């Protein structure tokens, strides 16, 4: 068949597929109109006066709105696949399922068992599939088709085969600012991970560019499809390393028809907190270490800063006194039986009891304990003392005291360098990403303040009004961090899991005690310096759940030229790294430039311009954190010229991202930045899909891998 004949045949195939796609969209639009009418009808029932009617109305509006949202989210590229079966059947595969007016299947949801062959059939094992076709669509228009002939022996003579294969066609697509679903080009080993058993923990490993992240997101959509009641009611939590990363992946699940998943970066896991900055490496390692657990426990039990160390009270003929030693003993007794805020309810009674035991005067003894309690608990001096000595507190309140306590309460857990770094790292009104797990830990250590009507409260009746007044007067500035009963999810998906510190594993473990897990990571890309400590914390978080391990072996992101360089860096970073097989070559080798310090910025600028001119998609300039702020100022004009295509990032913020071109600034600065610097450089190099340039004033790193 000549070129023109092939083109004509392709156009005929596209036209035929377009006719079917039009039918599916007509039905989709009809379903959307029905859902919209149900929303309108439900809202029109606002006059219903009885409670049952209101509940029915709200449920109707909620379900209809949810269905409408899913239909709208799946509109772009709704139909993406077709299977021609040995028995003559054609199966069309799409982002959601669609039926015609007679309930006959027009489009099979990609997660349905009937669609599994689209991903699992191979030329070696066609399993009844003759031709697999991928439809490339722009909105609702078919713009191309790519075919895989899987069973040539049984193919009809008139069966048309178009293109070079959908996967290789997709690999050359220009990257933009968001991740896209790969639902049309999922490969067999990826599909096996997506459809793994829902119970326990599924781990997805493999080198950079193997599709771990997008496979994990497709798995979340698959789980919601197969057991929607369980996972939607319990919730699915997706956690990634940074806000940049979460913005990058946010469109994937909606495009697969799922709009009810909770996406949070590590700095946003705790309700009410949004942290985006990282601490410097020494402070970050200390805050993430499991050594923090005992330190935080001691800090939570310590007296509030500035709290009184003595109380004197004159009662009739007696001078009653509680000195520092007695107050410390009462504090220890209260904390032995309850968490700090739970013990708060018992504190007034414990103090009153200690004071009553000192009463010796005959007049006082004649009046008895009841009158003593009545008098002292209504005395503002006692009320003020209790408020200062044992105030109910928030995790944020305690966290803010930690810089002043780290030397006193570390008990040798941290060395002098770590203590100095910890003190310097605290920004009282701006918690870091590494601070968030500490605040979460404190939530559990100090507990919640019990309600005044708590059935377990056995304080004398006279104390109840004091407690209630004190609680009502207190202003809770971080109310959303108070509850520790709202953390459970049915499924937890953790990306870049190799970077999690022990404290971050503890934070996520609380949210997944009864959950199934999907854990994505690659040890060679880890930024956490103590993997054995982190492994122990991960084991505790999973609580003995059975694990199903999957390894993805093919690098679809990087050209072979780029990945060969990155692999040499990986071999320095870790022993025996998990290296994938890059499947394509471009003929473009990485470019390395060594310049004088005065030429650095201008060379970075010109290199970035060249890359921007040569690729259609996004470009990243990646630099050591210490140079980032100055570089963003120096390159502000270039960034303004390409606001949608150019990013300036540090190594940690590139985690999970990919760009058509990458310019790496001062690679030696990245390797020197922390003990995980070589692993970070490995991550940075593997972000580039087409072009890679390094610019530095030194080249020790390249000499090391030569």
Task: List pLDDT tens digits, range 520-554.
Answer: 999 999 989 888 999 999 999 998 899 999 999 98
Q: What is the mean pLDDT of residues 65-94?
A: 80
CA distances from 84 to 97, 134, 135, 161, 294 (A): 18, 12, 13, 12, 62
Whole-angstrom Cα distance, residue 148 to residue 165?
6
pLDDT at position 480 is 36
pLDDT at position 53 is 54
In the predicted structure, residue 697 carries a pLDDT above the cut 90:
yes
Tell me the per-residue pLDDT of 161-211, one tens digit each, with 9 for 90 and over: 887 555 544 555 555 556 555 555 678 888 899 999 999 999 999 999 888
Contact 219, 494 (CB under 8 A): no
Tokens in use for 327? 């107050």
Tell me the per-residue pLDDT of 575-604, one tens digit each, with 9 for 90 and over: 899 999 998 899 999 999 999 999 999 999
| CA end-to-end span of the chain | 49
User: Mapping DSSP to helix (H, G, I), strand (E, B) and coil, where does residue 615 land?
Assistant: coil
Q: Which has the closest alpha carbon to 162: 187, 144, 183, 140?
A: 144
Contact 557, 208 (CB under 8 A): yes
Whole-angstrom Cα distance, residue 700 to residue 93?
52
Whether 560-705 and 194-261+486-554 are alike in CATH topology: the answer is yes
Tokens in use for 297? 């426990």
Contact 538, 500 (CB under 8 A): yes
Tokens in use for 152? 């040539």
Q: What is the mean pLDDT of residues 364-372?
A: 79
Whole-angstrom Cα distance, residue 346 to residue 457?
8
In the predicted structure, residue 230 carries a pLDDT above the cut 60:
yes
Contact 249, 263 (CB under 8 A): yes
User: Given pLDDT bands bounded at 50, 70 and 90, which one contains residue 488?
Assistant: confident
Tokens in use for 88? 């003559």
User: Given pLDDT bands bounded at 50, 70 and 90, which one contains residue 477?
Assistant: very low
In the predicted structure, residue 371 carries a pLDDT above the cut 90:
no
In the predicted structure, residue 609 carries a pLDDT above the cut 50:
yes
Superfamily of domain 560-705: P-loop containing nucleotide triphosphate hydrolases (3.40.50.300)
Tell me the per-residue pLDDT of 100-137, one tens digit each, with 9 for 90 and over: 988 899 999 988 999 989 888 877 788 999 998 989 88
pLDDT at position 461 is 45
Q: Spell out the alpha helix ranges (H) of 410-474.
A: 416-425, 436-446, 461-473
- The alpha carbon dihedral of 670, 671, 674, 678 has a sign of positive
pLDDT at position 478 is 36
Please report how many Cα atoms fall inside a 13 Å half-sphere around the Cα of residue 17, on the Cβ side: 33
Q: What is the mean pLDDT of residues 10-32?
A: 91
Contact 151, 126 (CB under 8 A): yes
In the predicted structure, residue 557 carries a pLDDT above the cut 80:
yes
Q: Which has the closest alpha carbon to 555: 429, 448, 687, 433?
A: 687
Beta pairing class for 129-138 and 79-85: antiparallel
pLDDT at position 482 is 43
Q: Which residue has the higher pLDDT, 605 or 318?
A: 605
Whole-angstrom Cα distance, residue 544 to residue 517?
12
**For tokens 């590494």, what's the residue?**
434
pLDDT at position 54 is 52
Contact 37, 216 (CB under 8 A): no
The mean predicted confidence, pLDDT, of the chain is 85
What would the CATH number be for the domain defined by 194-261+486-554?
3.40.50.300
Q: What is the mean pLDDT of residues 487-494?
A: 89
Where do the domains of the chain lie?
Answer: 3-163, 194-261+486-554, 281-481, 560-705
Contact 652, 242 (CB under 8 A): yes
Q: What is the mean pLDDT of residues 54-72?
A: 58
686 alpha carbon, distance to own chain's centre: 21
In the predicted structure, residue 73 carries a pLDDT above the cut 80:
no
pLDDT at position 180 is 55
In the predicted structure, residue 481 carries a pLDDT above the cut 60:
no
pLDDT at position 120 is 85
User: Given pLDDT bands bounded at 50, 70 and 90, which one contains residue 272?
Assistant: confident
Q: What is the mean pLDDT of residues 687-693?
A: 96
Q: What is the mean pLDDT of residues 227-231?
A: 88
Contact 223, 231 (CB under 8 A): yes
Whole-number CA gyration radius for the chain: 31
Tell me the per-residue pLDDT of 232-263, one tens digit each, with 9 for 90 and over: 888 999 999 888 888 878 877 776 767 778 99
In the predicted structure, residue 42 carries a pLDDT above the cut 90:
no
pLDDT > 70: percent of the chain: 84
**Which secondary-structure segment (H or E) carries 106?**
strand 105-109
Tokens in use for 217? 């997101």
- Secondary structure (DSSP) of 258-305: ----EEEEGGGSSTT----PPPPHHHHHHHHSTTHHHHHHHHHHSPPT
User: Mapping DSSP to helix (H, G, I), strand (E, B) and coil, where does residue 107 land?
Assistant: strand
Tokens in use for 686? 């593997």
């Amino acid at each position: 068949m000549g070129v023109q004949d092939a083109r004509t045949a392709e156009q005929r195939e596209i036209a035929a597929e377009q006719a079917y796609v039009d039918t599916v969209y007509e039905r989709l639009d009809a379903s959307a109109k029905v859902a919209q009418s149900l929303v309108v009808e439900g809202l029109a029932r606002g006059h219903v006066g009885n409670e049952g009617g209101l509940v029915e109305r709200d449920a109707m509006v909620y379900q209809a709105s949810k269905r409408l949202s899913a239909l709208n989210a799946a509109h772009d590229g709704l139909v993406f696949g077709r299977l021609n079966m040995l028995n003559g059947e054609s199966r069309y595969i799409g982002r959601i399922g669609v039926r015609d007016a007679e309930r006959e299947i027009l489009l099979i949801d990609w997660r349905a068992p009937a669609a599994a062959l689209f991903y699992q059939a191979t030329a070696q094992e066609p399993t009844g599939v003759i031709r697999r076709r991928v439809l490339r669509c722009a909105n609702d228009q078919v713009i191309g088709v790519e075919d895989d002939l899987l069973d040539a022996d049984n193919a009809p003579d008139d069966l048309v085969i178009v293109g070079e294969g959908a996967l290789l066609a997709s690999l050359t697509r220009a990257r933009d600012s968001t991740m896209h679903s790969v639902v049309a080009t999922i490969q067999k080993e990826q599909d096996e991970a997506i459809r793994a058993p829902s119970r326990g923990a599924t781990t997805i490993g493999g080198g950079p560019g193997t599709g771990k992240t997008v496979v994990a997101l497709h798995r979340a959509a698959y789980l919601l499809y197969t057991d929607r009641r369980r996972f939607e009611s319990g919730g699915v939590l997706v956690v990634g390393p940074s806000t940049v990363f979460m913005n990058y992946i946010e469109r994937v699940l909606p495009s697969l028809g799922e709009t009810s998943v909770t996406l949070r970066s590590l700095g946003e896991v705790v309700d009410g907190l949004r942290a985006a900055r990282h601490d410097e490496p020494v402070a970050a390692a200390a805050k993430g270490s499991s050594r923090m657990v005992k330190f935080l426990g001691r800090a939570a039990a310590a007296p509030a800063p500035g709290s009184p160390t003595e109380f004197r009270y004159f009662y009739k003929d007696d001078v009653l006194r509680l000195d520092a030693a007695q107050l410390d003993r009462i504090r220890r007794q209260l904390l032995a039986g309850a968490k700090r805020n739970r013990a708060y309810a018992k504190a007034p009674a414990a103090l009153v009891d200690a004071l009553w035991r000192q009463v010796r005067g005959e007049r006082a003894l004649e009046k008895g304990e009841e009158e003593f309690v009545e008098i002292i608990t209504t005395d503002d001096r006692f009320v003020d003392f209790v408020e200062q000595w044992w105030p109910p507190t928030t995790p944020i309140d305690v966290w803010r005291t930690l810089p002043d306590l780290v030397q006193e309460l570390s008990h040798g857990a941290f060395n002098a360098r770590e203590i100095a770094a910890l003190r310097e790292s605290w920004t009282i009104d701006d918690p870091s990403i590494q601070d968030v797990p500490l605040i979460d830990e404190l939530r559990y250590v100090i507990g919640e303040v019990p309600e005044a009507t708590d059935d377990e409260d056995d304080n004398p009746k006279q104390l109840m009004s004091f407690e209630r007044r004190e609680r009502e007067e207190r202003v809770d500035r971080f109310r959303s961090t108070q509850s520790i009963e709202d953390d459970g999810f049915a499924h937890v998906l953790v990306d870049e899991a190799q970077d999690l510190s022990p404290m971050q594993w503890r934070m996520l473990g609380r949210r997944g005690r009864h959950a199934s897990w999907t854990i994505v990571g690659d040890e060679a890309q880890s930024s956490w310096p103590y993997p054995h400590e982190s492994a122990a914390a991960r084991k505790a978080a999973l609580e003995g759940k059975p694990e199903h391990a999957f390894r993805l072996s093919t690098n679809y992101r990087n050209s072979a030229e780029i990945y060969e360089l990155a692999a040499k860096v990986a071999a320095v970073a870790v022993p025996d790294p998990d290296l994938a097989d890059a499947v394509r070559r471009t003929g473009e080798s990485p470019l390395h430039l060594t310049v004088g310090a005065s030429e650095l910025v201008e060379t970075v600028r010109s290199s970035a311009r060249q890359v921007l001119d040569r690729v259609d998609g996004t470009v990243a300039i990646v630099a050591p954190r210490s140079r980032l702020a100055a570089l963003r100022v120096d390159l502000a004009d270039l960034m303004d010229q390409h606001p949608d295509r150019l990013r300036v990032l540090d190594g940690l913020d590139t985690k999970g991202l990919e760009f058509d071109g990458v310019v790496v600034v001062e690679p030696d600065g990245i390797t020197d930045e922390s003990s995980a610097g070589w692993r970070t450089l490995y991550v940075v190099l593997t972000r580039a899909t087409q072009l890679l340039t390094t610019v530095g004033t030194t080249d020790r790193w390249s000499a090391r891998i030569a």
